[in-house]
Amino acid sequence: FSQNAAPSKKPATEIYQEALEAISVFQFEEALKLLSECYIRDQQNINYINQIAYCHTQQGRYPDAKLYYQSALKIDSTNITALSSLGNLFELERNYGKALPYFQELIRLDSTNSYYYKQAAYLYSRAGDMFTGIRAFLKAHQLNPRDIEIIDQLSNIYLKTDNLEYADEMIRKGLYT
């Protein structure tokens, strides 16, 4: 970041709060200016880095966002925000092979999170690995049996593969969820 204005005398925590307020009203350029000042003061602060990446994501600057999320992972390889955001960004770009390892790592870090399994299931399915996709959807369903999106996906997969008995079971679950 280049800083044209003189640095503020405010504490970084106060500037960071102002940046979060700017983000909350979709003022991403303003937030980036504020976050840049925070980042200049502390380039190891993962919160600053993740918020900078988030602002870039919201403005469609995916390459910049990925660079910041990757720098957050260099500081903390288990940073949930950076891992899930990178997975989601690669998925948006339809680069399922690059997205999947991020969700696999998230599952390794927290095997009780149905969202991670659901995202991995989508990626396996989109990459053509239906068997592994079904297993991941089933695990997600086991962890969160009320997630209608998972039930819908399983129903569709079973219908497409002519597993009508399983499809019927999922559809009935969906109706009563």
- What is the DSSP code (8-state) at residue 6? P
| Closest listed residue to residue 89, CA positions, set 77, 103, 76 | 103
Report the alpha-carbon distance of residue 104 to residue 77 in Å, rounded: 13
Report the alpha-carbon distance of residue 88 to residue 79 in Å, rounded: 14
Report the alpha-carbon distance of residue 6 to residue 136 in Å, rounded: 52
pLDDT value for 56: 98
- What is the DSSP code (8-state) at residue 43? T
Per-residue pLDDT of the chain (177 residues; tens, 9 = 90+): 444 555 678 899 999 999 999 999 999 999 999 999 999 999 999 999 999 999 999 999 999 999 999 999 999 999 999 999 999 999 999 999 999 999 999 999 999 999 999 999 999 999 889 889 999 999 999 999 999 999 988 888 888 888 788 888 888 877 776
| Closest listed residue to residue 131, CA positions, set 169, 94, 158, 167 | 158
Model confidence, pTM: 0.85
**Residue with the two structure tokens 């998925």:** 91
